Structure 1
Amino acid sequence: MTNPMRGVFAVPTTPYTEDGDQNLDALGGRIEEVLAAGVSGLLGLGATGEALALSAAERQAQIKTIVSAVDGRAHVAIGCMAYTPAEISAHISDAAGWGADAVMVTPPFYGGLEPDAVIAALRPVLTTSELPVMVYNNPHSTGTDLLPNHLAALQDTGRLWSVKETSGEPTRIRELRSRLGEDTDIFVGADGIALEGFAQGASGWVAASAWLLPEHCQRLWELADSGEWAGAVELWRSLGQALGLIEGDSAFISLIKQALGRRGREQGPVRPPLPTADPEALAALLDAIAGLERTHTA
């Protein structure tokens, strides 16, 4: 793998069989289709992948499936979400041993930690990491908003590959780019503001929606990355509507899974306690996708 770790990283859902087991065959098949769209990488075992609902054995099986299916054709990053630094580091060691290229970590959740405490917890994780690390700033889920100055304090570890930014603050990506410079990549993590993030200098996009609409998400990135802003804006008028419906729904994981199922790529249900998307929300999303495909051929 020679291309840099930037661009679109699609985030897989975890398909399940009717019996509730992981459907690794479905996962591998969808990976082939997503890679054909030209994405730079996959980020497995994120929140979209229901990582916290999986057993240790299921995690291991999924990572092995992703790495094997990708087979060096794109980058593989693995979410390593846990409460204690020791658990996070153990997940990172496992991901490295199973062949991942990079990992993503979050602040310890539920503790209501102040940013300085989070940085103190993550410092030993990054310092000892065998792999490049993406730090996921998701204050809506973790309760902690890591500002550019906080994240800059991790750059001296030599392992801060990137930041996935999902605070929703309108100028945050520009601020991160200004503070962290070019040595740390900045990824848009909120699908509904992807184009705005690209305009502010993002290095790429960690996109749950790219599991559903990989060709269109990849095309948006290519247009923006090459400075073809008129084309990017035109595509975004339709793509952004679909992505906004996904991102604005608390049952977005179910929505992605159901939409894929309607398109012949069965993903099964979500695991409780995650909510199931309403039929009306699914119908609205499918209408938006149909409109996108009428006006923009992937």
Structure 2
Amino acid sequence: MNKDFWYGVFPAITTKFTAEEELDMDACMVGIEAQLEAGVNGIVLGGSLGEASTLTEEEKFKLTAATVAKVAGRVPVIFNIAEQSTKVAVHQAQKAAELGVDGLMVLPPLRYFASEEETVAFFSAVAEHTSLPIMIYNNPIDYKIHVTLDMFEQLKKYPNIQAVKESTRDVGNVTRMLNRFGDRFKILTGVDPLALESILIGAHGWVAGLVDAFPKETVAIFRLAKEGRHEEAIQIYRWFLPLLDLDIHPKLVQYIKLAEVATGTGTEYVRSPRLVLKGAERERIQKVIDDALAIRPELPEGSWGVLKAV
């Protein structure tokens, strides 16, 4: 396992379903293995891309247990908590620990526009009731609550609050966090079309979406950027950008799952109220995918794959 826990590419894994909207555990494990073969640094389960809001608690824990067994310690497994109740969030954190996860990604309270005091209290309660490392998901665009630098100042007293998924869509926030806190909080960019820019100015990792369909390319961009091979990273990123833009649409789940079908890493089935793409919209997204596949770049040797211990 990477000695630097919050470093590298962490796929936000899609949850695979059958046509009848049941969990497709076999397809889930195929997708996990594709990520591990590409050399990702961690696995994030049950996020918004994983359709967490449609999963029962029993399904979340079933998927978590199976993933922990599949990964078998090769990389950290991160369990996502997105709840409106502090009590339920704490319960899920404790249950996830029992199942063997390595860390948590925690959203602020959902459905209620919590105040700064309430949001800090929510994160604090989770941190106080688990020893697992925590990454706070900061996404005011989609979840309305902005976890400000002053709020991180209050939260830094908890040693297990260690990282942030930076999804404010303000690249400058990476620098603001680094200027104020140095290396206290690891910063993982969470917006695919801003990923390379964020990495080049200091982000430690990338919680990625299109990685589900293109794991090797995602890993290659991150590694090349961190190795100072910027021109090689930029060339792949320019090719990738039309696909990465799919990550910031309300139908990102359907779009990314359609890409997974094209690359053999998943299925397109979703759970209602989401519906499988059809008509002109499907044709438009399929064209984006097909156009990219037609000119898919050859990746530099050694830019992806499992790194051997030295």
Is the TM-score greater than 0.5?
A: yes
Partner of 1:285: 288
**2:141 equivalent to 1:140:** yes
What secondary structure, in the 3-state scheme, does the structure 2 residue paired with 1:161 have?
Answer: strand
Where 1:169 maps in the other structure, the secondary structure is coil
The 5 A counterparts of 1:180-259 are 180-244=181-245, 246-259=246-259
Q: Describe the shift of the 1:2–1:263 C-alpha distance in structure 2 as closer, same or farther (beyond 3 A).
A: closer
| Residue number in structure 2 paired with 1:45 | 46
Tell me what 1:267 maps to. Answer: 267
Higher normalized contact order (CA 8 Å, seq sep 6+, divided by chain length): 2
| 1:175 matched residue in structure 2 | 176
Deviates more, 1:121-130 or 1:267-276: 267-276
Deviation of the 1:178 alpha carbon: 1.7
Aligned to 1:114: 115
Q: Which residue of 2 aligns with 1:87?
A: 88
Q: Letter of the aligned partner of 1:251 in structure 2? A: K
Residues 1:122 and 1:146: Cα distance change in structure 2 (over 3 Å): same
Q: Within 5 Å, give how 1:21-100 maps onto structure 2.
A: 21-100=22-101
* Residue 250 (structure 1) shift: 1.9
Q: Which runs of 5+ in 2 are unaligned?
A: 305-310
Across the aligned residues of Structure 1 and Structure 2, the Cα RMSD in angstroms comes to 1.7
Moved over 6 A (4+): none
How many Å apart are 1:271 and its aligned residue? 1.3
Matched-pair contact (CA < 8 Å) for 2:79–2:96: yes
> Contact 1:239/1:292 (CA < 8 Å) preserved in 2?
no
- 3-state secondary structure, aligned to 1:164: strand
- Please report how far the alpha carbon of residue 2 of structure 1 lies from its aligned counterpart in structure 2 after TM superposition: 4.3
Equivalent pairs: percent with the same residue?
Answer: 26
SS at the partner of 1:136? strand
Asked if the contact 1:92/1:130 (under 8 Å) is kept, the reply is: no
**Letter of the 1:63 counterpart:** T
Shift of 1:137: 0.5
Q: Structure 1, residues 75-112: CA drift from partner, whole Å, max 9, x if none?
A: 11010111121111111111111010000111102211
1:280 is displaced (CA, Å) by 2.6
CA contact (8 A) 2:213 2:265 kept: no
User: Which sits farther off after the overlay, 104-113 or 272-281?
Assistant: 272-281
Residue identity opposite 1:145 in structure 2: H
Query: Could you tell which deviates more after superposition, 277-286 or 42-51?
Result: 277-286
Cα-to-partner distance string for 1:7-49 (whole Å, 9 max, x where unaligned): 0001111111122210011111121111010000100011110
Alpha-carbon shift at residue 291 of structure 1 (Å)? 4.5
- Aligned AA for 2:267? Q
Per-residue Cα deviation, 1:104-158 (whole angstroms, up to 9, x for no partner): 1111022112333211221121122220101000112221111222112111011
Task: Flag structure 1 segments of 5+ consecutive residues without an equivalent.
Answer: none
Shift of 1:181: 1.5
